[in-house]
Amino acid sequence: MLSRLGALLQEAVGAREPSIDLLEAFVEHWKGITNYYIESTDENTPAKKTDIPWRLKQMLDILVYEEKQQAAAGEAGPCLEYLLQHKILETLCTLGKAEYPPGMRQQVLQFFSKVLAQVQHPLLHYLNVHRPVQKLLRLGATVPGSLTEKEEVQFTTVLCSKIQQDPALLTYILEGKKTTSRKKVSREATAPLREAASVRDKDHPQSKAPDSGTCGAWASSAQLPAETEEPDGPIGESSLITSLIGLCKSKKGRVALKAQENLLLLVRVASQAAATCLVQSSACPAIVERLCQLHQSLPSSLDPADIAAVEGISWRLPSAPSDEASFPGKEALAAFLGWFDYCDHLITEAHAVVSDALAKAVAEKLFVEILQPQLLHVSEQSVLTSTALLTVMLRQLRAPALLREAVAFLLGVDQQPAAPEDSPRTLCAHLIRHCDHLSDEISIATLRLFEELLQKPHEQIVRSLILCHLEGRAYVARGSPEPESYEDTLDLEEDPYFTDSFLDSGFQPSAKPPPAPATNPDGKTAVTEIVNSFLCLVPEEAKTSAFLEETGYDTYVHDAYGLFQECSSRVTPWGWPLAPPPLDPHEPERPFFEGPFLQMLFDRMSRILEQVIGDLMQRIQRVPQFPGKLLLVRRQLMGQVPGEQLDHQTFLQGVVVLEEFCKELAAIAFVKFPPHGPHLHLSKPPEGHV
């Protein structure tokens, strides 16, 4: 086996003394490549059918073998010295740009990738390596959907892996560029090379390379075009970032996914200096520009209902599940949401410096410059579409830095309580007004937006919308004695929803619950009374759940308890006190304003009572066979019987929904203040939860 390996190496290098003949063989193969361009007259023969791929393979094998034979680790051998001094990579980059013979760019990309991956000696800090690397990256970035996408993504994979191993290399790869004349390049291009060579000469004597003959003459003339791009001081447009973003747009799914993984690898750099360098490059603007382009490609005819129904979009699988119904614009919507999910993932995984910069760029370019004008537009379609889209984006959003920017965008940074007379100057104020819009569609869409927002683990959301108006406890009357019993506050004679005509009709309100202790030892109003205050909103004659063996509000208790535990876990890290602060008796009483958000919710809830309960009993008398029809509608809503059109169907559906809504409120009150009796055996919330 060893003798066979030796024979193969002898054949590969054609030498008896590796330390000397390796260099001769290396130069000979390089001469063979350059001689092809001098002697060949056939411009149509593909590169893979010439001896160029074989010669490049031999040069690579020689470099790898030479490095293994080096006595001192880290030293550059004669062949590697020759590669650097004679700017072989520069010349190959020029040949790849010319794409002659056809397919040469593919060969060059493969050679670059293998040299950088297999040669262990650090290379990317050499000018004659990272400069052609930058040029080669720019070649691929300028050709969308090129035939060399596979080789390009392999090339970027090697570069990103090298940068992850040594973040200091990022400054060499992400350098900006400027255009200089040939005269300046001719005068200055070799200066860094001479400096690098002098440093290496101090370490070890350089082996004299054989004269490259026509190779050197041809290369020197081929690699200096009329204008040459050189690294500049400030970080500017990055060829690596541009190349990766271009590959992310590939129609080939595997290529696009690998490019996204490479970009993710790049933003994970552990070094603060490297992360700062990345922020100063074109990385964040390029990533966000792609996001904005995908948003602009969304058709204006998108149905908000279709947007709201889309789920399961991931950057690793940027397409809607196949079982979902197709609709116009579905692919464009999936592409946008997939890239937004990718941005969210980048911000989650990136270095803190990169994460903050990218999150701010998304907020500025997408939220403020694109979505805000649409949310404030006079066109209802624009408002509906942008609101539905923002709701889906909030549902996908996970990155803390991006959530912070989204909250600042939607709610602002000022947490001062609003006054009732304040005009809507902020986006938040306009959105709250949209919740009570003349268009029911806009109202529902905006309420869903706030529903998603309130489920996000960010304290400022609850504080800005609700708590900043309640913290002063102005809702408590100073100096007024609290009622001894909840029953003392019940007066049906004065209740506008239980009028004289209602009492005279023969219907009586549901029986009051058995007497319960007025207050618990801790001073809280008895939960039984609170629960029944919700259940009594709907009279017994309008309730139907008992006829279907449903036991009342306790059917919602399990879900409400799970929701309560989830909310408790979410707020635990915020350090909220377990009890409200005591009132200052010397503080003057001031008018209480619940804030625009709660005011809007209470206004809507009060109208629900007005539109259903206010004249419920009178309307019941006008519906023939009311109990039977109400029970039928409940079964229809539960899917137990097929739907059929009935008289007064909207009214009947409203009665059923109102009953369920009151049961939900009662269940929430029950799990928040569980009674001392053994009503339901539910586990207690974790210790320390609110």
pLDDT value, residue 578: 80
Cis peptide before 101 (omega within 30 of 0): yes
Percent of the chain with pLDDT over 90: 46
Kindly state the average pLDDT of the residues 130-155: 85
**How far out from the chain centre does Cα 211 lie?**
56
CA angle centred on 571, ends 569 and 575, rounded to 5°? 120
The mean-pLDDT minimum among 101-105, 422-426, 490-494 falls in 490-494
Kindly state the average pLDDT of the residues 43-59: 94
pLDDT value, residue 353: 96
- Which DSSP string corresponds to 490-550? --GGG-TTS-HHHHHTT--PPPPPPP--SB-TTSPBPHHHHHHHHHTTS-GGG--GGGGT-
Kindly state the average pLDDT of the residues 218-227: 35
Assess whether pLDDT exceeds 50 at residue 204: no
pLDDT value, residue 403: 97
3-state secondary structure at position 307: helix
Question: Which of the given ranges, 377-381, 414-418, 624-628, 637-641, has the highest pLDDT on average?
Answer: 377-381
pLDDT value, residue 635: 87
pLDDT value, residue 651: 86
Q: Which of 143, 162, 168, 140 is nearest to 153 (CA)?
A: 140
Kindly state the average pLDDT of the residues 440-453: 96
Q: Which of 680, 624, 679, 674 is nearest to 652 (CA)?
A: 624
CA distance 84 to 126: 8
The mean-pLDDT minimum among 294-303, 452-461, 564-573, 581-590 falls in 581-590
Summarize pLDDT for 348-372 with one digit per residue, the tens.
Answer: 999 999 999 999 999 999 999 999 9
The mean-pLDDT minimum among 7-11, 289-293, 473-477, 611-615 falls in 7-11
pLDDT value, residue 166: 93
3-state secondary structure at position 205: coil
Kindly state the average pLDDT of the residues 641-667: 86
Q: Which residues contact 219 (CB under 8 A, 6 or more apart)?
A: 34, 86, 87, 88, 90, 91, 212
Kindly state the average pLDDT of the residues 125-136: 93
pLDDT value, residue 86: 95
Assess whether pLDDT exceeds 90 at residue 683: no
Contacts 24+ apart (CB under 8 A), 525-530: 525/486, 526/486, 526/675, 527/669, 527/670, 527/673, 527/674, 527/675, 528/675, 529/485, 529/486, 529/487, 530/486, 530/669, 530/673
Q: Are 412 and 432 in contact (CB under 8 A)?
A: no
pLDDT value, residue 321: 53
Rama region for 44: left / alpha / beta (φ>0; ψ in -120 to 50; rest) = alpha
Kindly state the average pLDDT of the residues 265-279: 92
Summarize pLDDT for 452-491 with one digit per residue, the tens.
Answer: 999 999 999 999 999 988 887 888 766 655 444 444 444 4
Summarize pLDDT for 166-198 with one digit per residue, the tens.
Answer: 999 998 887 644 333 333 333 333 333 333 333
- pLDDT tier at 419 (50, 70, 90 boundaries)? confident
pTM for the structure as a whole: 0.78
Kindly state the average pLDDT of the residues 277-305: 94
pLDDT value, residue 686: 36
pLDDT value, residue 10: 53
Kindly state the average pLDDT of the residues 415-437: 85
- pLDDT tier at 221 (50, 70, 90 boundaries)? very low
| Average pLDDT value over all residues in the chain | 79
Q: Is pLDDT larger for residue 56 or for residue 142?
A: 56
CA angle centred on 241, ends 363 and 112, rounded to 5°? 165
Q: List the structure tokens of 596.
A: 């625009």
- pLDDT tier at 674 (50, 70, 90 boundaries)? low
pLDDT value, residue 488: 47
CA distance 478 to 486: 19
Q: How far is CA 655 from CA 24, 400, 537, 610, in A?
A: 94, 42, 11, 12
Q: Which of 400, 159, 167 is nearest to 270 (CA)?
A: 167
Summarize pLDDT for 511-558 with one digit per residue, the tens.
Answer: 333 333 344 554 455 788 888 888 888 888 888 877 776 667 878 888
- Looking at the DSSP bridge assignments, the partners of residue 251 are none
